[in-house]
Amino acid sequence: MKKLWTLAVLCAASTLPAIAATAFSDAKDAVDYRKAAFQMIRHNTGDIGEMLQGKVTFEAKRVQERADALAALAPLPWAAFATKGTEQGGGDAKAEIWSNMSDFMAKAEQFNTDAKALQVAAQSGDQAKVKAAFGQFRSNCKACHDKYKAD
Ligand code: HEC
């Protein structure tokens, strides 16, 4: 019995990437998921920002960890905008997202690209390179929020 259970869990885990885009059972799930992803993005972005501003000591290794996390987190929120009903999900997402979905997804794509570039810059350990890549990465937040996020 225990073996079967383990097998079932392993099977479920191995199919995860394939179902990731449709893993949300309802709109509330999807809204919770994307908000959680954005919160993780905010924390990791904020920490690099504070290091670059000199509020906390710049540590190349910590920047690397944050940038690695951001490269993994950046692709996550977007599938959760495709679940039916999330237009009225109670989040801060504006209706303009669904009337301009291709523009919204292009912005998301740019964000992912810049997150990868930040990761590469972080690997160099060079503060000037990190700063330039971070500026580019960070500009995506406002560019998208101004148009597609309430308040
Ligand atoms: C392509 C668009 C887009 C980009 C890029 C983007 N966001 Fe957002 N963000 C949104 C939308 C839309 C919401 C509202 C989601 C909702 O309420 O359902 C949001 C919500 C948030 C929230 C609030 C989550 C909550 O708990 O309600 C935070 C924090 C956030 N974003 C941080 C960031 C940061 C930091 C960046 C850049 C490093 C960023 N976002 C980049 C579209 C974007």
Q: Could you give the number of structural domains in the chain?
A: 1
String of DSSP letters for 59-107: -HHHHHHHHHHHHHHTTSGGGGGSSTTGGGSSSSB-THHHHSHHHHHHH
pLDDT band for position 22 (50/70/90)?
low
CATH at 61: 1.20.120.10
For 93-141, how does the pLDDT look when each residue is reduced to its tens digit (9 = 90+)? 999 999 999 999 999 999 999 999 999 999 999 999 999 999 999 999 9
Instruction: Give this prediction's pTM.
Output: 0.87
Task: Name the DSSP letter for residue 25.
Answer: S
List all residues whose CB is within 6 A of at least one atom of ligand 1.
Answer: 31, 34-35, 38-39, 41-42, 45, 89, 91-93, 104, 107-108, 111, 138, 140-141, 144-145, 148-149
Helix, strand or coil, per DSSP, at residue 57:
coil
Joined together, the tokens standing for residue 48 give 């690099």
Q: By residue range, what is the domain housing residue 60?
A: 2-148
